[in-house]
Amino acid sequence: MNVKNVKRVTIKPNIWDLLYIPAIIGGLSITFKHLFKKHITLEYPDEKWFPPPGYRGAIRLNRDELGREKCVACEMCATACPANAISMQGGAAPWDDREKYPIWYKIDMLRCILCGMCEEACPEEAIELTVIYDFADYTRESLIWDKERLLKNYDLTKDGNYYKRQLEENKKR
């Protein structure tokens, strides 16, 4: 790069520049202004973000109109799961109109990467990812969710107002 016509300028610092005080006051005034601005912090747990409906959070098993799980133990979800988090045992269903159902169904939520492949693979729309995103826990065993726990997720989220209810419960506490 050719630099032509360079003008050399010398800045002579005056006393105020040398003391740095105007620079400090200028910088601090920006910080001071922020004290009175509206903060952007999301005050969890008093405020919670409501995820949009397609959000990939915790897993639930859907119920049909009669309250039974829709799952027919075809093991498509277990085959599709990239982390091998799903396991189940199929068996003859105790109801007349259904052939097969899962005797037990477990998802290891600590292996689950919440990718949604199981939801895509399911032919019966029996498994879905909900909006629940805050389910940390103390032990590994409590995060291996069985059928009842996954169906409970359905009961909690089927009306679509999970976080609204959570906030109200929080306020009551």
CB–CB of 110/150 below 8 Å? no
Give yes or no for residue 150 binding other proteins (CB under 8 A). no
**Do the Cβ atoms of 101 and 69 come closer than 8 Å?**
yes
Minimum Å gap between C-beta 88 and other proteins is: 10
13 lies in the site for other proteins, by CB under 8 A = no
**CB of 93 or CB of 154, closer to other proteins:** 93
Binding string, residues 16-35; x marks residues near other proteins by CB under 8 A: --------------------
List the one residue from 143, 154, 156, 166 that touches other proteins (CB under 8 A): 143
Does 82 bind other proteins (CB under 8 A)? Our answer is: yes
By the rule CB under 8 A, 129 interacts with other proteins: no
Candidate segments 8-16, 17-25, 41-49, 165-173, binder of other proteins by CB under 8 A: 41-49
Task: Give whole-number Cα distances, 28 to 20, 22, 62, 108, 120, in Å.
Answer: 12, 10, 55, 50, 53
125 binds other proteins (CB under 8 A): no
Three-point CA angle 98, 102, 115, nearest 5° = 115
- How far apart, in whole angstroms, are the C-alpha atoms of residue 44 and residue 63? 31
Binding range to other proteins, per CB under 8 A, among 4-12, 75-83, 146-154, 165-173 = 75-83
- Gap between the Cα atoms of 93 and 25, Å rounded: 76
State the Rg of the chain over Cα: 28
CB proximity list for 3: less than 8 A, separation 6 or greater: none
Using rule CB under 8 A, residue 164 touches other proteins: no
- Where does this chain bind other proteins (CB under 8 A)? 39-45, 48-49, 72-76, 78-79, 82-84, 89-92, 99-100, 108-115, 123-124, 133-140, 143
